[in-house]
């Protein structure tokens, strides 16, 4: 009887040992990072591919995930918030380790982010901002300071007009400004406009500028061109300045300005936001005057932050990436160094 009992115990110990060994193999296999750690899965909802900037942002996130050994579930929302909400719900259903998303618009995220929180999946907001009743629904925000970008646009413009002794084309004592705004309801469009207007209101020179027209060009080259055509149709001989919320819309508008028989960058001063290669080339060609950088290379910081969160380390709630201002006179020297 004793012998049988000892045999049964020995068999049971072997089974337990084999079970433990099997677990270890699994965690260092295909679903694991090197060193036996479980591989992190991140669900990432991108808004689409509306601009040169967005393409660079997507590439940065994809490359950084590869470099960090993070498995990325990438979803393209084709510019629709409802698609982003669907994607986030599917990430929750799949049980990803962490969710990151670029909110196409500021509002409307409370319910789905509460669902992620209830499922204990941490959320990182990328690039744009969200407006929530409860900010604990996301752990961190990584992106850019849109208010500051708008302020920098006005400050540069004010200086430039003074330094170059510019006078309003149609006479009078005010420069007439047209604005191509970004996606309606997006934090970037709202805050860039706010930053620009506030800087104008606070400046001693603010009264020298008048916003003649302001309309969305949806952050795309084509819409930027179309809306600029309509601005020119009504006010061709009045417009002194174009402020475009992104470079792509400025590039579209340049074509409209040339088609209207005017010289972009000379008859109409052009300042935009992003810092993509296309606008650097336009500045070298004398067709644009300044770009205020909005840095899309947010992938490495996103992956680093995700790893910290999942290790239970404390992270900053809000991190802005570095950004510069590039007027036309530095474009030629700077273009070869540009990464996007
Ligand atoms: O959210 C960032 C903005 O979105 C960039 O300025 C623009 O180019 C993009 O599409």
Task: From 46, 50, 53, 195, give the residue whose CB has the most ligand 1 atoms within 8 Å, as the site to mutate.
Answer: 53
In terms of C-beta density within 10 A (0-12 exposed, 13-18 middle, 19 or more buried), how is residue 274 classed? buried
CA–CA separation, 218 vs 226, rounded Å? 11
pLDDT tens by residue, 32-88: 444 557 899 999 999 999 999 999 999 999 999 999 999 999 999 999 999 999 999
In the predicted model, what is the mean pLDDT of the chain? 91
Q: Which residue has the tokens 């509460």?
A: 114
CA–CA separation, 248 vs 231, rounded Å? 17
Distance from Cα 279 to the centre of ligand 1, integer Å: 14
CA–CA separation, 68 vs 44, rounded Å? 15
CA–CA separation, 139 vs 130, rounded Å? 12
pLDDT tens by residue, 176-221: 999 999 999 999 999 999 999 999 999 999 999 999 999 999 999 9
Specify the long-range contacts of residues 32-36, CB closer than 8 Å, at least 24 apart.
Answer: 33/69, 34/69
Name residue 123's beta-bridge partners.
99
Distance from Cα 169 to the centre of ligand 1, integer Å: 31
pLDDT tens by residue, 291-306: 999 999 999 999 999 9
> Could you give all domains of the chain from N- to C-terminal order, each with its CATH number?
39-144+296-322 (3.40.50.2300), 146-294 (3.40.50.2300)
* Ligand 1, atom 6: closest residue by C-alpha: 246
pLDDT tens by residue, 104-162: 999 999 999 999 999 999 999 999 999 999 999 999 999 999 999 999 999 999 999 99
pLDDT at 15 over 50: no
In contact, 181 and 245? CB cutoff 8 Å: yes
- Quote the pTM value: 0.89
Distance from Cα 186 to the centre of ligand 1, integer Å: 10
- CA 244 and chain centroid, separation: 16
Reported as type and span, the H/E element at residue 100 is: strand 98-101
């Amino acid at each position: 009887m004793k012998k049988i009992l000892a045999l049964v115990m020995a068999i049971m110990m072997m089974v337990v040992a084999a079970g433990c060994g099997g677990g270890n193999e699994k965690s260092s296999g295909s679903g694991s990072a090197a060193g036996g750690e479980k591989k992190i899965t991140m669900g990432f909802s991108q808004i689409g591919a509306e601009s040169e900037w967005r393409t660079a942002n997507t590439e940065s996130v994809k490359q950084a995930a590869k470099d960090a050994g993070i498995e990325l579930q990438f979803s393209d929302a084709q510019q629709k918030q409802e698609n982003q909400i669907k994607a986030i719900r599917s990430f929750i259903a799949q049980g990803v380790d962490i969710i990151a998303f670029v909110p196409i618009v500021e509002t409307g995220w409370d319910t789905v982010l509460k669902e992620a929180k209830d499922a204990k999946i941490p959320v990182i907001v990328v690039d744009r901002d969200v407006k929530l009743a409860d900010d604990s629904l996301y752990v961190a925000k990584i992106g850019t300071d849109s208010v500051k970008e708008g302020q920098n646009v006005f400050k540069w413009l004010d200086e430039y007009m003074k330094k170059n002794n510019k006078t309003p084309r149609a006479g009078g004592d005010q420069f007439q400004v047209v604005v191509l705004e970004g996606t309606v309801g997006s934090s970037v469009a709202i805050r860039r406009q706010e930053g620009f207007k506030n800087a104008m209101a606070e400046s001693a020179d603010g009264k020298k500028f008048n916003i003649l027209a302001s309309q969305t060009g949806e952050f795309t080259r084509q819409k930027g061109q179309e809306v600029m055509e309509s601005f020119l149709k009504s006010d061709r001989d009045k417009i002194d300045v174009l402020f475009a919320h992104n470079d792509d819309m400025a590039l579209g508008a340049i074509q409209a300005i040339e088609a209207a028989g005017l010289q972009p960058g000379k008859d109409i001063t052009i300042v935009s936001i992003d810092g993509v290669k296309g606008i650097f080339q336009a500045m070298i060609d004398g067709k644009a005057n300044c770009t205020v950088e909005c840095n899309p290379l947010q992938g490495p910081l996103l992956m680093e932050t995700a790893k910290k969160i999942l290790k239970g380390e404390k992270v900053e709630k809000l991190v802005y990436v570095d950004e510069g201002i590039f007027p036309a006179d530095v474009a030629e020297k700077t273009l070869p160094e540009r990464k996007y």
